[in-house]
Amino acid sequence: MSFTVNARVKNENAYSLKLKPCHVNVYLQDQLVGKVYVDKKVKINRKSESSLSFPLRAALEDGALLTMLRLSLQKEISVRVQGKLRLGASILSGRFAIDTSRVISGNQLKLAIPK
């Protein structure tokens, strides 16, 4: 499944950054539902705050749609994104761990389920 994300990004560094191809795991209520892949480089301009739009690809685990439908009936759902992002600046690059959680309403999950 492919989709486009619009994100507000702030780079306070004196150099541009590039988000390189990588993937992260996505969990709903501590259950793995799939992986999200960044397939193309995304450039983040130096000393700027901008709105970026970039394509992502998702690979769902077996039974993930059924899990998403079941969870969409709940009032609140815990969403966790965990993995390593590949970032580069000029000739330097590295992997940076990400492990963040957010609570969303079931209505937001309903909007994300393909019809």
Domains, the chain, ordered by start:
2-112 (2.60.40.10)
Identify which of 36, 38, 46, 33 has the alpha carbon closest to the alpha carbon of residue 20.
38
- Distant-in-sequence, close-in-space partners of 17: CB < 8 Å, separation ≥ 6: 11, 43, 44, 46, 87, 88, 89
Distance of alpha carbon 114 from alpha carbon 50, whole angstroms: 28
* Mean pLDDT of the residues in the chain: 91
9-64 pLDDT tens trace: 999 999 999 999 999 999 999 999 999 999 999 999 999 999 999 899 999 999 99
> What is the residue-wise DSSP string for 11-29?
E-SSS-EEEEEEEEEEEET
Identify which of 10, 32, 11, 21 has the alpha carbon closest to the alpha carbon of residue 81.
32
Percent of the chain surpassing pLDDT 90: 70
Identify which of 15, 17, 9, 16 has the alpha carbon closest to the alpha carbon of residue 49.
9
